[in-house]
Amino acid sequence: MGAEQAWLLAAIPAGVFFVLALFGRYLPRGGDYLGVAAIGASFVLFFFVAADFLSFYDFEAHKTFITESISWSEIGNFKLRQGIHVDAITIVMFAVITTVSLMVNIFSVGYMKGEPRYYWFFAVLQLFVASMLLLVMADNLLLVYISWELVGVCSFLLIGFYWEKRSATEAAKKAFITTRIGDVGLLIGIILLWKETGTFDIQQIIHAAEAGEIGQTYLFVSIMFVFLGCMGKSAQFPFHVWLPDAMEGPTPVSALIHAATMVVAGVYLTARLLPIFEAADGALLVVTIVGLTTALLASLIAFAQTDIKRVLAYSTVGKLGLMFVALGAGSPAAGLFLLMTHAFVKALLFLGSGSVILGTHHNQEMDKLGGLWKKMPITGTTFFVATLALAGLPPLAMFWSEDELFASVNHEWGLWALVLAMLAVFATAIFMVRLFIRTFAGEPRDRQVHEHARETPLVMTGPLVFLCVLAVVSGLFVFNGVGSALGFPGGIGEFVFLEEPERYAIDWTLAGISLAVAVAGVLIGAYVYWGNSLVRSTRLAEAMPRLYAALRNKFYIDEMYQYVIDRGVLGVSYVVSWFDRYVVNDTGVDGSAQVTGYSGSILKYLQTGRVPNYAMAITLGVVGLTVAGLLVRA
Amino acid sequence: MATEVLWWIFAVATVLLSAGVVFSRSVLHSAIFLIGSLGGVGAMYVFLTVDFLALVQFLVYGGAVTVLILLALMLTRTDAKESLNGTQAPWAALAGAMLLAILVSASVAVKWPGDIDDAPTTIPLETISEKLFVDFGPPFVIASVLLLVALVGAIILARQEEGE
Amino acid sequence: MTFDEGQGYAVLATLAAPLLAALILVFIPGTQKMAVRYVAAFFGAVMLGLSIYVFVAYQVDGEQIQMSLKWVWVENTAFLGKDGIVLNLAVDGISAPMALLTGVVAFAGTITSWKINYRNKDFFILYFILLAGVYGTFFSFDLFFWFFFYELAVMPLYLLIGVWGSTRKEYGAMKLTLMLVGGSVLIWIGIFAVFNEANLGTFDMQRLFAAGNDGTLSPTFQKVFFPMFVVGCGVLAALWPFHTWSPDGHMSAPTAVSMVHAGVLMKLGAFGIIRLGIQMLPVGAEFWMPGLMVLGVTGAVYGATAALTQRDFKLISGYSSVSHMGYVLMGLATMNQIGITGAVLQMFSHGVMTALVFLMIGALYDQAHTRDMKDFGGIAKVMPMWVVFYAIAGLANVGLPGLSGFTAEFHIFVGTFQTYPVFGALAIFAAALAATYMLRMFSMVFFGPFNPRWKDLKDLTPLEAMAGALLIASIVVMGVWWAPFTDRIGTTVAALPGVVG
Amino acid sequence: MVPLENYLVLSAVMFSLGVYGVLARRNAVLVLMSVELMLNAVSLNFVAFAAYLDPERITGAIFAVFVITVAAAEVGLALAIVIRLFRNRATSNVDEAAMMKW
Q: What is the pLDDT of residues A364-394, one digit of tens each?
A: 666 666 677 777 888 888 888 888 888 888 7
Q: What is the DSSP string of A87-147?
A: -HHHHHHHHHHHHHHHHHHHHHHHHTTT-TTHHHHHHHHHHHHHHHHHHHHBSBHHHHHHH
For B98, name the nearest residue in chain A, comparing CA atoms only: A623
- The dihedral sign for the CA sequence A502, A504, A509, A512: positive
pLDDT of residue B97: 92
Give the closest of C248, C424, C483 to A72, CB-based: C483
pLDDT of residue C206: 87
User: Does residue A595 belong to the interface with chain C, where contact is any CB pair within 8 Å?
Assistant: no
Q: Are strands C66-74 and C85-91 parallel, antiparallel or unpaired?
A: antiparallel
Per CATH, is B1-77 categorized as 3.40.50.1820?
A: no
For residue A238, whether the previous peptide bond is cis, meaning omega lies within 30 degrees of 0, is: yes
Check A627 against B95: CB less than 8 A apart: no
Q: Encode chain D (102 residues) as per-residue pLDDT tens digits.
A: 678 888 899 999 999 999 999 998 888 888 888 998 999 999 999 988 888 887 777 888 888 888 888 888 888 888 888 888 888 888 878 877 777 676
Is the confidence at residue A400, as pLDDT, over 70?
Answer: yes
Q: What is the mean pLDDT of chain C?
A: 88
Q: How far is A623 from chain B (nearest CA, A)?
A: 6
Contact list in A for residue B98 (CB cut-off 8 A) is 623
Torsion of CA A137, A139, A141, A146, to 10 degrees: -50
Compute the average pLDDT of residues A580-600. 86
Q: Is A300 helix (H, G, I), strand (E, B) or coil?
A: helix
Say how far apart CA B92 and CA B90 lie, in whole Å.
5
Complex-level ipTM: 0.77
**What is D4-90's CATH topology?**
Helix Hairpins (1.10.287)
For C171, name the nearest residue in chain A, comparing CA atoms only: A590
Q: What percent of chain C has pLDDT over 70?
A: 99
Q: Is C67 helix (H, G, I), strand (E, B) or coil?
A: strand
Per-residue confidence at C197, pLDDT binned at 50, 70, 90?
A: confident
Per-residue confidence at C468, pLDDT binned at 50, 70, 90?
A: very high
* Full residue range of the structural domain in which residue C34 is found: 3-495
What single DSSP character describes residue B26? -
| pLDDT tens figures, C118-130 | 888 999 999 999 9
Q: Residues near A546 by Cβ (< 8 Å), separated by ≥ 6?
A: none
Q: Which residue has the higher pLDDT, C253 or A538?
A: C253
CB environment C455-471: b (16+ within 10 A), e (fewer)? eebeebeebbbebbebb
Check A619 against D97: CB less than 8 A apart: no
Domain boundaries defined on chain A: 356-552, 559-633
Check C305 against A576: CB less than 8 A apart: yes
Check B115 against D37: CB less than 8 A apart: no
What single DSSP character describes residue A307? B
Is the confidence at residue C59, as pLDDT, over 70?
Answer: yes
CB A431 within 8 A of CB A303: yes
Q: Closest Cα to residue A334, out of A144, A97, A507?
A: A507
Q: Do chains A and D touch (3 or more CB pairs under 8 A)?
A: yes
Is the confidence at residue C136, as pLDDT, over 50?
Answer: yes
Q: Which residue has the higher pLDDT, B117 or C500?
A: C500
Say how far apart CA A404 and CA A427 lie, in whole Å.
19
Number of CB atoms found within 10 A of residue A361's CB: 11
Per-residue confidence at A551, pLDDT binned at 50, 70, 90?
A: confident
Q: What percent of chain A has pLDDT over 70?
A: 94
Number of CB atoms found within 10 A of residue A281's CB: 11
Helix axes A397-412, A508-529, angle to 10 degrees: 120
Q: Which residue has the higher pLDDT, A565 or C43?
A: C43
CA C215 to chain centre: 32
C-alpha dist (Å) from residue C274 to A362, A549, B144, C269, C335 = 60, 61, 53, 9, 10
Is the confidence at residue B164, as pLDDT, over 60?
Answer: no
Which chains have 3+ CB pairs within 8 A of A?
A: B, C, D
Q: Which residue has the higher pLDDT, B71 or C50?
A: C50
Which residues from B are below 8 Å from A when comparing CB atoms?
86, 88, 91-92, 95, 98-99, 102
Contact list in D for residue B88 (CB cut-off 8 A) is 23-24
Contact list in D for residue A609 (CB cut-off 8 A) is 98-102
pLDDT of residue A1: 63
Contact list in B for residue D18 (CB cut-off 8 A) is 18, 22
Say how far apart CA C180 and CA B113 lie, in whole Å.
51
For D33, name the nearest residue in chain B, comparing CA atoms only: B34
pLDDT of residue C108: 92
Give the closest of D23, D24, D100 to A609, CB-based: D100
Give the closest of A604, A608, A612 to D23, CB-based: A612
Round to the nearest angstrom and report the end-to-end CA distance of chain A: 95
Say how far apart CA D6 and CA D15 lie, in whole Å.
14
Helix (H) or strand (E) holding C416: helix C404-419
Say how far apart CA C121 and CA C107 lie, in whole Å.
17
| pLDDT tens figures, D71-88 | 888 888 888 888 888 888
pLDDT of residue C501: 67
Q: How far is D100 from chain B (nearest CA, A)?
A: 18
CB A402 within 8 A of CB A393: no
User: Does residue A149 belong to the interface with chain C, where contact is any CB pair within 8 Å?
Assistant: yes
Check A173 against C306: CB less than 8 A apart: no
Contact list in B for residue D21 (CB cut-off 8 A) is 21-22
Which chains have 3+ CB pairs within 8 A of B?
A: A, D
Say how far apart CA C127 and CA C400 lie, in whole Å.
32
For B92, name the nearest residue in chain A, comparing CA atoms only: A616
Say how far apart CA C233 and CA C235 lie, in whole Å.
5
Per-residue confidence at A263, pLDDT binned at 50, 70, 90?
A: confident
User: Does residue C482 belong to the interface with chain A, where contact is any CB pair within 8 Å?
Assistant: yes
**Angle at CA C14, nearest 5°, toward C13 and C19?**
80
Residue numbers of A between 397 and 456 with CB closer than 8 Å to C: none
Helix (H) or strand (E) holding C69: strand C66-74
SS3 content of chain A, % helix, strand, coil (to 5): 75, 5, 20
Torsion of CA A237, A239, A244, A248, to 10 degrees: 180
Domain boundaries defined on chain D: 4-90
pLDDT of residue C474: 93
SS3 content of chain C, % helix, strand, coil (to 5): 75, 5, 20
CB A193 within 8 A of CB A142: no
Q: What is the DSSP string of chain D?
A: ---HHHHHHHHHHHHHHHHHHHHHB-BHHHHHHHHHHHHHHHHHHHHHHHHHH-TTT-HHHHHHHHHHHHHHHHHHHHHHHHHHHHHHHS--BGGG--TT--
Per-residue confidence at A534, pLDDT binned at 50, 70, 90?
A: low
Is the confidence at residue B115, as pLDDT, over 60?
Answer: yes
Chain A and chain C share a number of CB contacts under 8 A equal to: 139
C-alpha dist (Å) from residue A375 to A49, A448, A454 = 42, 13, 6
Q: What is the mean pLDDT of chain B?
A: 85
C-alpha dist (Å) from residue A621 to A603, A605, A615, A616, B92 = 18, 19, 10, 8, 13
CB A176 within 8 A of CB A148: no
Per-residue confidence at C1, pLDDT binned at 50, 70, 90?
A: very low
Torsion of CA C224, C228, C230, C235, to 10 degrees: 160
Per-residue confidence at C345, pLDDT binned at 50, 70, 90?
A: very high
Q: Is C68 helix (H, G, I), strand (E, B) or coil?
A: strand
Region class of C229: left (phi > 0), else alpha (psi between -120 and 50), else beta = alpha
Say how far apart CA B78 and CA D90 lie, in whole Å.
9
What single DSSP character describes residue A374? T
For A629, name the nearest residue in chain B, comparing CA atoms only: B102
Say how far apart CA A555 and CA A545 lie, in whole Å.
13
Q: Residues near A137 by Cβ (< 8 Å), separated by ≥ 6?
A: A6, A7, A9, A10, A84, A85, A86, A90, A94
Q: What is the mean pLDDT of chain A?
A: 84
- The residues that bridge with C336 in the sheet, in sequence order, are C500
Check D101 against A616: CB less than 8 A apart: no
C-alpha dist (Å) from residue C62 to A72, B117, C139, C481, C492 = 21, 72, 17, 21, 11
Q: Do chains A and C touch (3 or more CB pairs under 8 A)?
A: yes
Give the closest of A612, A623, A626 to B88, CB-based: A612
Name the pTM for this structure: 0.84
Q: How far is A577 from chain C (nearest CA, A)?
A: 5
Helix (H) or strand (E) holding A72: strand A66-75
Q: What percent of chain B has pLDDT over 70?
A: 91
Torsion of CA C196, C199, C203, C206, to 10 degrees: -120
- The residues that bridge with A307 in the sheet, in sequence order, are A365
Which chains have 3+ CB pairs within 8 A of C?
A: A
Domain boundaries defined on chain B: 1-77, 124-164
What single DSSP character describes residue A477? G
Which chains have 3+ CB pairs within 8 A of D?
A: A, B
Q: How far is B118 from chain D (nearest CA, A)?
A: 6
Residue C500 lies in a domain: no
Is the confidence at residue C32, as pLDDT, over 90?
Answer: no
